[in-house]
Amino acid sequence: MNRRTLQSSVAAAVPVLVALVSAASAADVTVVGPSTAAPPVIVDQPTVVRPQPPSVVVPPAPGSTVVVTPSSPQALANPQTVLADDIHAQQVRAQTIYANKIQAREVQGTVHQIEDEIGSAGKHDIKAPVVTASVIYADEIRADSVIANDIYVRDLSR
């Protein structure tokens, strides 16, 4: 290629490039980069806490009677063992009951007559609609219904 032809081609191309570059502005430029996704939206669900009345534990005086009145049937958990002097209830339920005297209209379970007196089972009386435990030791039980797998009693009256 001839030197003159090359110079004339470059001379003709430079004004065209200058015209193209000068015609472009920042408004015509679109910058495409890595996408920046918006951070995920986290919505916290409100937690509703209902205040409970404070628990007050007052130990009963010796020889007194404890009256249990739950607000709902599920309010009290069943204890493993109940020790009581006297139990007065509509229904007494347990796996095993040990008592010196039981006075009930209905007794369900295997009754074992014992000759020896059960020692001091507890220091307090229990009055409740239903008394339920795994094992119950009591001096005397008065109830409409006594239900247990095994009932060890010295004196049973219906």
CA distance 151 to 96: 6
Amino acid at 15: P
Per-residue pLDDT at 47 exceeds 80? no
CA 22, 25, 26, 28 torsion-angle sign: negative
Taking the domains of the chain in order of start, what are their residue ranges? Answer: 65-157
pLDDT by residue (tens digit) across 72-82?
Answer: 444 455 678 88
SS3 10: helix
pTM for this one? 0.52
Buried b or exposed e, range 2-20, using 16+ CB within 10 angstroms: eeeeeeeeeeeeeeeeeee
Tokens of 118: 């059960």
| pLDDT band per the 50, 70, 90 thresholds, residue 99 | very high
Mean pLDDT (the chain) is 74
pLDDT tens-digit readout, 21-38: 555 555 555 555 555 555
* pLDDT score of 9 more than 70: no
Confidence at residue 111, expressed as pLDDT on a 0 to 100 scale? 93
3 in helix, strand or coil?
A: helix
Q: What is the pLDDT of residues 111-120, one digit of tens each?
A: 999 888 887 6
Edge-to-edge strand ranges of the sheet holding 65-67: 65-67, 125-157, 81-113
**Beta-bridge mates of residue 16:** none
Task: Check: CB of residue 89 under 8 Å from CB of residue 136.
Answer: no
